[in-house]
Structure 1
Amino acid sequence: MMTAVKFETLENEPSAFNLYLDGEKIGEMIVEINDGDMTVFHTEVDPDQEGNGYAGELLQSMTSYVRENHLKVIPMCAYVQVQFDRHPDEYADIRSDKEIRF
């Protein structure tokens, strides 16, 4: 079984890192890029696919994209915020100081 993450910006749709398993979409990370920041709003994986590390694949793809494009991340998504808080050293270089805390 092959997974692929694609960063897709479709008309009239939010930008997202979409996760495909054998060609079928099973997860997404909804984002918006504005003024050098990528705001991550939501991460979701199909319930029957949870526990397989797919959210981590989305996180990895997003952070690679952010580093390649010299962006900073505003983690409004609970999953991303928890990962950034758990591993501060790993994400310190890409965490925006414009962060919105809840």
Structure 2
Amino acid sequence: MAEVKINIQQNEPSAFDLYDEDGKVGEMVFDIQGNDLTVYHTEVSPEKEGLGYAKILLDAMVNYVRENKLKVIPLCPYVHLQFRRHEALYQDIWNKIKEE
């Protein structure tokens, strides 16, 4: 079973790290400035692609944002695509103004 651990760093990007029985298999890199969480990059190990691991990272990020009353600036292509495809699911947390 996959597990997400948040790795908050000061003065450098943080990450949601994804682990399974093989160790770290993915990450979503982000930074928080004020009330905005900017997602820069999502990556899953090639041998784990297609198993829904990127969605697990996305769900962990969305839960964190909602719990902490933040907005998302989705610079990561994967996150941006998911926000566009499922806009109704993410409209409450999507900061479209600062995205551009």
Q: Where on the TM-score scale, by shorter chain, does this alignment land: which range?
A: over 0.9
> Which string of whole-angstrom CA distances, capped at 9 and with x for unpartnered residues, describes residues 13-61 of structure 1?
5200000012600000000000100000000000010000000000000
Question: How many residues were matched structurally?
Answer: 100
TM-score (norm 2): 0.93
Structure 1: 5+ residue runs without aligned partners?
none
Does structure 1 residue 35 correspond to structure 2 residue 34? yes
1:61 aligned partner: 60
TM-score (norm 1): 0.91
Measure the CA separation in 2 of the matches of 1:85 and 1:23: 32
Measure the CA separation in 2 of the matches of 1:79 and 1:44: 9
Aligned-CA RMSD value: 1.5
Measure the CA separation in 2 of the matches of 1:7 and 1:41: 15
CA positional deviation for 1:97: 3.0
1:22 aligned partner: 21
Structure 2: 5+ residue runs without aligned partners?
none
